[in-house]
A = this chain, B = another copy of it.
Amino acid sequence: MNRRSAEASKQKITESARQVFADQGYAQASMRTIAREAGISVGGLYLYFRNKEELYLTLMQEWMDNLNGTTREALRKIDDPRESLRAFITITIDFTRGHREMIILQGRELGFTFGIDLKKQFFRERRQIITGIIRRGIDAGIFRQCDADEAARIIFNVLRGFVISMVIDEEALFSAGGCVDLVLNGLLRRNEG
Contacts and interface: CB of A to CB of B under 8 A. Distances in A.
A146 B182 contact: yes
B188 A142 contact: yes
Contacts of A12: none
Contacts of A165: 157, 160
Interface in A79-110: 82, 85, 103, 106-110
Contacts of A72: none
A150 interface: yes
Contact of A188 (B127, B143, B160, B162): B143
A151 B28 contact: no
Given A108-B25, A160-B161, A144 B188 contact: yes
Interface in A115-174: 116, 119-120, 123-124, 127, 134, 137, 141-144, 146-147, 150-151, 153-162, 164-165, 167-169, 171-174
B110 A28 contact: yes
Contact of A169 (B119, B147, B187, B191): B119
Given A108-B164, A187-B85, A187-B146, A154 B179 contact: yes
A2 interface: no
Q: Chain A contact residues: over half helix, strand or loop, or mixed?
A: helix
Contact of A111 (B24, B109, B120, B188): B24
Contacts of A111: 23-25, 27-29
A189 interface: yes
Contacts of A144: 185, 187-190
Q: Which 7 A-B pairs have the closest CB atoms?
A: A157-B161, A186-B186, A28-B111, A160-B161, A27-B27, A161-B161, A24-B111
